[in-house]
Amino acid sequence: MPRFHPLFFPPRRAFLRAALAWPSAVSLSGLGGLVTLGGCGGSSHPGSPSIVPPAGPTVVSVTDRRVKVAHDVSLHVRDWQCDNCRGPTIVLLPGLGANAYVFDGLAHALAPRARVIAVSRRGYGQSDKPLPVRTATQHYEVDTLVADLHALLDGLGLDRVVLAGHSIAGNELTRFAGRHSQRVRGLVYIDATFDHTRDPATGGLPVPENRLFREPVPREEDGASMEAALAYARRTVRHWSAPLEANLRDQLDLQPDGSVRLNTPAAVAAAMETASHSFSPDYAPVRAPALVVTAMPGDIRDIFPALPETLDAATQKDAAAYLRVIRYVRVDDAARLMAALKTHHQIVFEDACHGDFFIEREAELVRAIEAMRWA
């Protein structure tokens, strides 16, 4: 495994891989009202929330657990519970490469009204990481991840839950809800793509190539210590935060000489990426009410956070063109996802970065989730 590699911060990298599979426009809540949230905006949502606020002061606690889901695999979960929660249990699944800690902010914000479980899927963080041997994607196919989720709910004694998944986790939401409808009260697709196997429609808009749009490659010294890795991440992420730092720390192992290495083997990362991007979801069996959450970039640094502050004229032109393509693609992708889910519940966050908007804008997202009427 390489000593240090740009994969160490997957939320940004995962966005770059899926950059041309993104939506726009918006509607939310029980009455299907039109809601668009700007960079500093809040919103009131029509209808009555199905997650009832607690009657008095609420004490929230978080517990780290390991739950066995297969004979050789246990998953790490962070379990938020409150003393007088009345809402449905919410299970949070991270994007490609991320782990349970990335939800520390969102989970804590939801926890005063509902039990919240944040999951590190197999292959990441403190969860077990079996190596693929028989095939390139062995142990990491979507059906295996769905089986893990089913076993996890059984192991925690959870009957019916709201599943919320960021980015690539949309695959697991769709497959699980189609196969185990009796276990699902609702679904929250947090900037997830309709189908990663389909080429997005760009409306004929050209996609510009520019060397500055390439992902920055860290130097050897950027992995020389945990502090160096954190410094690199801060330079290449638009909105650094405590959940992102906790997520990063859980991705890296400290070596005897003080350097850091990814704790996800390269073969596992490749297996997960290949399997997740080769899966075509079947939405027909999905019956649970669904909320579609869309992050719309407002400028080029919402897509490429590491770009220099000052851009030359040619790069400014390319950036504007690239942004137009992304926003166009998102309209088509959102329409496909909502039609497939047969839902009119959607909320769009303007001026948002795919990798971390659910951290930066957690208050608005919590209100949107709480406004839903779950089955």
Domain span at residue 321? 6-371
Q: How confident is the model at residue 334 (pLDDT cuts 50, 70, 90)?
A: confident
What is the bridge-based pairing of β-strands 116-120 and 161-166?
unpaired
pTM (2 d.p.): 0.88
1 in any annotated domain: no
* N-term to C-term CA, the chain: 45
Helix (H) or strand (E) holding 90: strand 90-93
Helix axes 142-156, 170-179, angle to 10 degrees: 70
CATH number at residue 102: 3.40.50.1820
204 in any annotated domain: yes
21 in any annotated domain: yes
Q: Of 83-87, 101-105, 248-252, where does mean pLDDT reach its minimum?
A: 83-87
223 in any annotated domain: yes
What pLDDT is attached to residue 109? 96
Q: Of 118-122, 278-282, 327-331, where does mean pLDDT reach its minimum?
A: 327-331
What pLDDT is attached to residue 25? 28
Q: Which two tokens stand for residue 324?
A: 């137009």
Q: Is the pLDDT of residue 111 over 90?
A: yes
Query: Which residues fall within 8 angstroms of residue 316, CB to CB, at 6 or more apart?
Result: none
Phi, psi values for residue 349, rounded to 5°: -100, 115
Q: What is the mean pLDDT of the segment spanning 213-228?
A: 92
User: DSSP letters of 136-194?
Assistant: TTTT-SHHHHHHHHHHHHHHHT--SEEEEEEGGGHHHHHHHHHH-GGGEEEEEEES--S
Q: Is the pLDDT of residue 79 over 80?
A: yes
- Dihedral, CA of residue 176, residue 181, residue 182 and residue 187, to nearest 10: 70
Name which residue leads in pLDDT, 59 or 100. Answer: 100
Q: Which two tokens stand for residue 3?
A: 């000593």
Name which residue leads in pLDDT, 99 or 26. Answer: 99
Kindly tell me the sign of the dihedral angle through the C-alpha atoms of 236, 166, 214, 263: positive
Q: How confident is the model at residue 244 (pLDDT cuts 50, 70, 90)?
A: very high
Helix (H) or strand (E) holding 333: helix 313-341
How many domains does the structure of the chain reveal?
1
Name which residue leads in pLDDT, 330 or 316. Answer: 316
Region of residue 29 (left: phi > 0; alpha: psi -120 to 50; beta: else): left
What pLDDT is attached to residue 323? 95
What pLDDT is attached to residue 3? 41
